[in-house]
Structure 1
């Protein structure tokens, strides 16, 4: 990378709140140099590509990314351009990685492996750095494109390359549980990863790789190639999502969770053996966290403590009061400053 571009890279890079997420922007780069700067950033953090833009001086882009064990997640927002990866660039540098692309804004056209596909918002696609590709990020009204990207080393997936090649350059189905979870992971990861320590980041990275592996294996009818640990992690991710979406239901318990996922209660408890808390304790903690958030939220002052308790699945306000005292050492009314009716005290 030439010296002036390296200088602008340093100027444009910031670390968000001291956490693992790094942000970059062309705002600090002179307009005439922004497209070259973006190309160098892509080469450094993803792969070498050729970029073209009809109005080079109008180009602008932002990027956020986080490096985790086994994968990298990035979000890009940029004005229209075309990107091409040529055989010459592949021979010069091939990181041997797969790219899972989630389109979040204007449509794009993607070409790879003799396949051309038009991708709209919400679409998922798979590319490989080992084959030529072209992407046309077009927009009639010059709106910015937004894409989320998961970068996976080829060796991180327990799936043979010849079968994976069948998926390159195609719009991938996302209606499966694994597809939905992967989309949620990609679209919300960088906003939720926060200040997790090394152990938490390793766990999150492993979950991301497992979700991608399970999703791709499902598309290839190759679930039998997944390790038992991967299948268990994906089941845990599905259970976590189910719990979060059903906390308001007072009937939510291990039996209901097991029935929804077509497994026995015993199997559910066995899957949770790697967690520091039981299924029931997980439900209770998350309900308490939602209640505590409501109690400290000024916009929720109109709700009584009793209403908040019922809102998050406690059968009676007194149940919230007991659990809250046990978890936080004070009654709910104390947290709210005594300003709201408890309905239980």
Structure 2
């Protein structure tokens, strides 16, 4: 299939939008403003719907497409149209993950979620564009703060199994001071970074303890897998949160799984 948006069509209707596409399968050859690129599975790009473009699709196209009002993006992005925005790490990966999750869970969102989701999407999209333009300092302070928090949360989840995941390590990975990390996290989460990490690790360990396929794994192994270096400290933290020992929780959970 081939799509063409002509000057005449733009004169008839121009809602002032950027069109963002994340491909799952197929390929897209896209051309706009003298810039042309071909994108395959996993590719992500955007175009300006206020300017003419031509698009040719190959194979069975599946993907996620959405449109973002241009007025919400405070950056000059003409040089980025049709270019690949895909990254395997950093802010590009966060945007890909968010779009994928948004699409997969669409039916579970309520009307009151829309404003929050729109804010997250615009923050991520703006930050990806600013990254490619090398203009992160041009973003509004609130966008920078919210995006930094999303990057920190993602980093924590990816490194939960690492016993050396500390506030100092997180701050160093994001090129900020430990005090700045605590301030950003406390303002948004209302809790300390260490407490947030411990809570996620306990949730992960609790899931393993209740999972029949992990029945043969020792409690010490599960504790170590989730970043706890001492069995006693894991037992104490688990009891403090769930009001029973890991052993008791496992017995109750697996007995319920085996029961009628």
TM-score range, shorter chain: 0.7 to 0.9
Instruction: Tell me: CA distance 1:133–1:96, structure 2 relative to 1, closer, same or farther (3 Å).
Output: same
Following the alignment from structure 1 to structure 2, what is the Cα–Cα distance between the partners of residues 191 and 164? 29
Partner of 1:103: 23
Task: Show the counterpart of 1:191.
Answer: 104
Report the counterpart of residue 56 of structure 2 in structure 1. Answer: 136
Equivalence for 2:258: none
CA distance in 1, matches of 2:68, 2:20: 8
Residues 103 and 322 from structure 1, CA distance in 2 versus in 1: closer, same or farther, beyond 3 angstroms? same
The yes-or-no answer on 1:299 pairing with 2:187 is no
Return the alpha-carbon distance in structure 2 between the equivalents of residues 296 and 156 of structure 1. Answer: 45
Deviation at 1:168, TM superposition (A): 1.4
User: Could you tell me whether the CA contact under 8 Å between 2:85 and 2:128 is conserved in 1?
Assistant: no
Of 20, 31, 46, 1:126 maps to 46
Q: In the aligned structure 1, how far is the partner of 2:103 from the partner of 2:237?
A: 32
Q: Measured at CA, do residues 194 and 331 of structure 1 come closer, stay the same or move farther in structure 2, by a change above 3 Å?
A: farther
Report the Cα offset of residue 205 of structure 1.
Answer: 3.0
User: What is the aligned partner in structure 2 of residue 239 from structure 1?
Assistant: 152
CA contact (8 A) 2:32 2:82 kept: yes
The equivalent position to 2:71 in structure 1, one of 155, 158, 172, is 155
Q: Displacement of 1:339 after TM fit?
A: 8.0
CA distance in 2 between partners of 1:106 and 1:213 (Å): 26
Query: Structure 2 CA distance, aligned partners of 1:327 and 1:320?
Result: 11
Matched, 1:170 2:86: no
Higher share of residues assigned helix: 2
TM-score scaled by structure 2?
0.87
Q: Deviations over 1:6-56 (max 9, x none)?
A: xxxxxxxxxxxxxxxxxxxxxxxxxxxxxxxxxxxxxxxxxxxxxxxxxxx
The answer on whether the counterparts of 1:124 and 1:174 sit within 8 Å (CA) in structure 2 is no
Q: 1:146 to 1:158 in 2, by over 3 A?
A: same
Q: Work out whether 1:181 is the aligned partner of 2:94.
A: yes
Where does 1:17-36 land on structure 2 (aligned, <5 Å)? Answer: none
Partner of 2:235: 321
Distance 1:99 1:290, change over 3 A: same
Specify every segment of 5 or more residues in structure 1 that has no aligned partner in the other structure, as ranges. 1-80, 341-345
Structure 1 residue 121 displacement after superposition: 1.9
**1:303-337 per-position Cα deviation (integer Å, ceiling 9, x unaligned):** 12221111000112222222222222232233322
Looking at structure 2, the residues matched to 237 and 217 of structure 1 have their Cα atoms a distance apart, in angstroms, of 16
Q: Give the whole-Å Cα distance in 2 for the aligned partners of 1:267 and 1:336.
A: 39
Partner of 1:63: none
RMSD between aligned residues = 2.3
Which segments of structure 1 move beyond 4 Å, counting only runs of 4 or more?
192-201
1:248 aligns with 2:161: yes
